[in-house]
Structure 1
């Protein structure tokens, strides 16, 4: 097994641009019903994961920020409270499994140097794979 065997490709992943605004991020999370999504910069690099909690903390800690002014705050300005690590598609399977234990999904990048986002690995898919192989 390789990391690429679990890859859910970028063209099927819900993600947000770092240059998008907070209103767009909130709408994306609502639309997908996810609690967190990858953040990608203008060059296609993975720069972090944005969660509902990050949005709530930004609202709580920003004086005067209201729902009708969320479009004034860019995603890259929002502090992320948890750092979801990425894994290179070329890394060892064990590296990915370690991250998946603590993250709902593991962002996958082309390589550690470029950080070019190519998709995610969902913890759900890992569990389903190992469950079906254990019970067979």
Structure 2
């Protein structure tokens, strides 16, 4: 099975630009009700996954940081506490299954590390469930 079958393309994915502010990230995550989103740099490359926890730790550990002034803090200055490595579009199905056990979504990149979309855990579970039912 080609993993491109499971791919949600970049145009349909809520992501945050690495050059954004905390406020922009918080508002995007709230709007979409996501607890984590891919981070993409100005060249379109995947640079990491931003989580609610990353944002909360930044607020907690930054003296005098409030929601009102999060528009002055850049995402690039927010430490990421979890490293979600992407997979390449030509990865084997076994690789994506093991990755999906560790994270809600798996970022997918091309040969130049350009972010092309995600594969959600939900689709992988549905695929595995279907395979089990056909045994």
Deviation of residue 61 (structure 1)?
Answer: 0.6
* Equivalent of residue 133 in structure 1, options 120, 131, 134: 131
Deviation of residue 127 (structure 1)?
Answer: 0.6
Deviation of residue 135 (structure 1)?
Answer: 2.2
CA-to-partner distance for each residue in 1:67-86, whole Å, 9 max, x for gaps?
Answer: 11000111111100000110
Runs of 5+ consecutive residues of structure 2 not aligned to the other structure: none
Deviation of residue 30 (structure 1)?
Answer: 0.4
Which residue of 1 is the match for residue 103 of structure 2? 103
CA distance, structure 2, for counterparts of residue 27 and residue 80 of structure 1: 18
Query: What RMSD over aligned residues (CA atoms) do the two structures have, in Å?
Result: 0.9
Structure 1 stretches of 4+ with a deviation exceeding 3 A read none
Runs of 5+ consecutive residues of structure 1 not aligned to the other structure: none
SS in 2 for 1:98: helix
Which residue of 2 is the match for residue 77 of structure 1? 77
State the TM-score, normalizing by the size of structure 2: 0.95
State the TM-score, normalizing by the size of structure 1: 0.95
Deviation of residue 96 (structure 1)?
Answer: 1.4
Which residue of 1 is the match for residue 119 of structure 2? 121
Listed as ranges, the matches of 1:24-103 within 5 Å are: 24-103=24-103
SS in 2 for 1:107: strand
CA distance, structure 2, for counterparts of residue 51 and residue 135 of structure 1: 34
CA-to-partner distance for each residue in 1:30-85, whole Å, 9 max, x for gaps?
Answer: 00001000000000000000000000000001111111100011111110000011
Deviation of residue 7 (structure 1)?
Answer: 0.6
